[in-house]
Each structure stands twice: as C-alpha cells, then as structure tokens.
Amino acid sequence: MSHTANAPANAEKRYTVHRADLPLSCPTPEMALWNSHPRVYLPIENEPNGEAACPYCGSVFVLAD
C-alpha cells in the first residue's frame, strides 16, 4: 500500500525547505492533494534570494541551505 499524505495542503503561508527536498513542488509530497490546487514545480534553486512563491496559493518557500 502506498504512503498517504496526511498534512493539510497549503495550511501555512511560509515554508522552509532544504536542498534535500528539491525538486520543490507546491503542494509538497507530504501534503494531501484532494483539497489543493494542481501541483506546480518551483525552481527555487535558481532564485537569487532563495525564495519562491506559488502562483496558485501564494505560499512562500524559503531555501534554508
């Protein structure tokens, strides 16, 4: 049986991510998809300030390392 994501989708508006979490998508694999927008990949590693915002929900992701 596959792993079921239990975290609510887009519950927060700011998330800290690490290079081990790349490629970054919103919603993340840990989030439930049934109540969220379509998955979109965010090229955070190419951003000069290490931040990327989701175009659907506005969640901001910050690259910590």
**What does the pLDDT look like over 20-51, one tens digit per residue?**
999 999 998 888 877 789 999 999 999 989 99
- When the pLDDT of each residue in the chain is averaged and rounded to a whole number, the result is 86
| Domain assignment of residue 58, yes or no | yes
How many CA within 13 A on the CB side of residue 32?
Answer: 7
Q: What value, to the nearest 5°, has the Cα angle with vertex 44 and ends 9 and 51?
A: 80
Asked if the structure places residue 9 within a domain, the reply is no
> Does the pLDDT value for residue 1 go beyond 90?
no
Asked whether residue 6 is domain-assigned, the answer is: no
Q: Would 3 be classed as within a structural domain?
A: no
pTM over 0.95: no
Q: Residue 61: is its pLDDT beyond 70?
A: yes
Question: Across residues 51-55, what is the average pLDDT?
Answer: 96
The answer to whether the CB of 57 falls within 8 A of the CB of 10 is: yes
Say yes or no to pLDDT of 12 above 80.
no
* In contact, 57 and 40? CB cutoff 8 Å: no
Q: Is residue 44 part of a domain?
A: yes
Give residue 24's domain range.
Answer: 19-63
Asked if the structure places residue 31 within a domain, the reply is: yes
